[in-house]
Amino acid sequence: MRVPLHICIISCALILLAGCPPAPQITGYHGPTSQMYEVVTAVNSNNSGIPTIWTDHTFKAWMHDDNGKSHYVDGDGVLLYRKQIDKPDELLLQGQSIIGKIFEIGSSSGPDAQYWVALVPEISTEWWGYYKNLGKPCVRSLPIHPDLVVEVLGVNQIDENFLRPPVPAMRFNNDADVYMFTFSLPTPTKWVIQKEVWYSRKTLLPVKVLLFDQNGRVLLRADLSEHEPIEGGDGRKIATQYKLFFPENKDRLEFSFKSPKLTRKGLPRAGTIQRRPIGDVRNIRIDEECGD
């Protein structure tokens, strides 16, 4: 019996279709996006109204001593922050538990601006140095870099002169649905990327911060999430969940803000954030070889 031609054609088509893999699913976002100046305007509109932060927080920290031994601590504490112009921002991040103060991370401004980190349990050491020596070969390493922690709060403004160093450049990441900003600086021999910040397309709030050395290696990676309005900020928002990772020594620090405010009882104000005696701990000035 002869099979009609049209039935043969349909049968062959069905066989071929059955053997074809399904079309791959397109993931990520592929719709319209904003121009760079629009993103920068939105970021600056939010961040310009956050000159200070006062907040309680809870934390977890995995830190290593001079011998590479890991130490875990957790507890709660307080964070104070003051934005500065043309000088280091001020930061005081303290943590404590039932045994008392566990750590302190700080950054001050002024002509003798300093940064410091103190780890009390087991290690009982405070490392500190002057900003004027930051980056010099005479500076020793320390477990957590306070000058880097300041950067991850994500409340700094972006210079709207896009040709002035650190020069910003923007690209859109379809898979992560974020605007990725890099900030580059010139050196005597090349341009280097100083920092990379990811901003959510939907909210235009920061969700990731990467800080680099001059060889392009990551010094600090921070994930930011759960943004909430800051009290007193007219609806402006900051992240309340931070996860920091320092690849060089594998240290990790996580903290969660609780009801962040611009200020509490007038704090922080000028002169609030200074390096003060921690107590009975070993004191190490990491830039002592640089001289005064």
In this predicted structure, what is the pLDDT of residue 16?
55
Cα dihedral: 253, 120, 277, 136 (round 10)? -50
Instruction: Enter the tokens of residue 154.
Output: 């994500």
Does residue 1 carry a pLDDT above 70? no
> What is the pLDDT confidence band of residue 279, given thresholds at 50, 70 and 90?
confident
Least confident of 6-15, 72-81, 133-142: 6-15
Q: Quote the DSSP letter at residue 113.
A: -
| Nearby residues of 124 by Cβ (< 8 Å), 6 or more positions away | 280, 281, 282
| Nearby residues of 193 by Cβ (< 8 Å), 6 or more positions away | 182, 183, 184, 212, 216
What are the helix (H) ranges across the chain?
Answer: 5-18, 36-47, 146-149
- Burial (CB < 10 A; 0-12, 13-18, 19+), residue 171, is exposed
* 16-75 residue pLDDT tens: 555 666 777 778 899 999 999 999 999 999 999 999 999 999 999 888 776 777 888 888
The answer to whether the CB of 54 falls within 8 A of the CB of 262 is: yes
Residue 85: other Cβ atoms inside 10 A: 6
| Nearby residues of 85 by Cβ (< 8 Å), 6 or more positions away | none
Bridge partners for 246 per DSSP: 251
* 127-177 residue pLDDT tens: 999 999 988 899 988 778 888 888 899 899 999 999 999 999 999 999 999
Does residue 178 carry a pLDDT above 60? yes
Residue of higher predicted confidence among 214 and 242? 242
Instruction: Tell me how far apart the alpha carbons of residues 215 and 249 are, in angstroms, rounded to a whole number.
Output: 17
The vertex-139 CA angle with 269 and 92, nearest 5°, equals 20
| Nearby residues of 41 by Cβ (< 8 Å), 6 or more positions away | 160
Alpha-carbon separation of residue 33 from 26, 54, 201, 291 (angstroms): 17, 34, 8, 51
Does residue 199 carry a pLDDT above 90? yes
* 83-134 residue pLDDT tens: 998 888 999 999 887 667 788 999 999 888 999 998 887 678 899 999 999 8
The answer to whether the CB of 260 falls within 8 A of the CB of 240 is: yes
Does residue 8 carry a pLDDT above 60? no
> What is the pLDDT confidence band of residue 12, given thresholds at 50, 70 and 90?
low
Domain boundary assignment for the chain: 36-163+241-290
In this predicted structure, what is the pLDDT of residue 85?
86
Kindly report the CATH number that applies to the domain delimited by 36-163+241-290: 2.50.20
First-residue to last-residue Cα distance in the chain:
104
How many residues can be counted in the chain? 292
- Burial (CB < 10 A; 0-12, 13-18, 19+), residue 46, is buried
Q: Say which residue the tokens 């923007």 belong to.
A: 170
In this predicted structure, what is the pLDDT of residue 24?
75
Residue among 275, 290, 288 nearest 118 (CA): 275
Instruction: Tell me how far apart the alpha carbons of residues 111 and 105 are, in angstroms, rounded to a whole number.
Output: 20
> What is the pLDDT confidence band of residue 205, given thresholds at 50, 70 and 90?
very high
In this predicted structure, what is the pLDDT of residue 10?
59
Least confident of 37-41, 118-122, 238-242, 279-283: 118-122
